[in-house]
Structure 1
């Protein structure tokens, strides 16, 4: 309980310090492994697993016979970076005899939320309008396809897939050394490589814009805070094909 209390919860469409928004239950399972998997699947597929109108954004199910704890947390208040923070605080709570220190005056997610809602976005809007000026946002890149699509079948399915490949240690070291010697990050290096890949794949498309998520923890106070900070940013490059 203290782990959640240290950060935040949601209720009535607002972020408050009210632990009642968490729901806890104890489930006694049979010993069979398939029973465990079915119960977990059933829990995660519940239509009322979350209810933002009532502030139900965190669920904890304890499976005592299997020594398992299942947490389900709504993405509205939990991003990828929050996972390691939550696991760290949970481990500390189990390993320490003392309660987690709670500073009522420390910055919490509710403070960030209030700030985000009242911040003046005029400068930001002007910045992005300038960066995307002249870009055709409805233009689709001409990419190779695995099958011919009819002119009337232009509706996107929304489905995605992923591919994974592994580089050797020598190649990984060369990536790190190159990025370090030129004073930029691995993300910047791989983004540049992706632009080159798209340029070749589209046979010379010189104005490219892709989107990617950003951690958006731009202040040191946000580094150890559980919450949803992730934003999606456009990355545009205009290449000289000569």
Structure 2
């Protein structure tokens, strides 16, 4: 009788663990992912600091776009008509020959700039499309991936720009920030582009090191990258 009671107690003691095991086994993968997300969650301070800096980057990107729009509108103004005595036939013919020679010499460069500008427009549109994520895609890993992919598009855009402006592969072994500095020093790239590039590079490194971006801060970062690519496209088309 004692053996039967002992056996019954063992069965009762094991009943709940066995029941829990059978209940949780079908959803074991979902539980594992949930635990992994909890482990990866960083302190709120890191997320807050990243969000603040990402919004500052977006504000700086908006300022850069606004300045470029103003500059483009000035360039599009109609030039005043030339005053003075009409040119002689010889002068007209000479001017036409010079323009023809210049046009022939620049045709290859213009075609290359147009091709690269089209590529940069495609990169910008892709970044903006990726940035339009819904709130349901709020996983930390997905937001880090969005930041990383946006930065990769920026590096590709910088390489296209460098190749177009220098008509060569450019300096080897340079980081993306150093490439932009090179363009500023040698090819009149706006210094504002370098400041934004440096800020975006720093944010991308911080996300990789574990500062978890929120949905809004990752979107702000991605849109800033799109603005930077737009600025590079304008710069490529500048003679």
Please indicate the TM-score interval, normalised by the length of the shorter structure.
under 0.3
Task: Please identify which structure carries the higher helix content.
Answer: 2
- Normalized against structure 2, the TM-score is what? 0.22
More strand by share: 1
Tell me the TM-score normalised to structure 1 length: 0.22
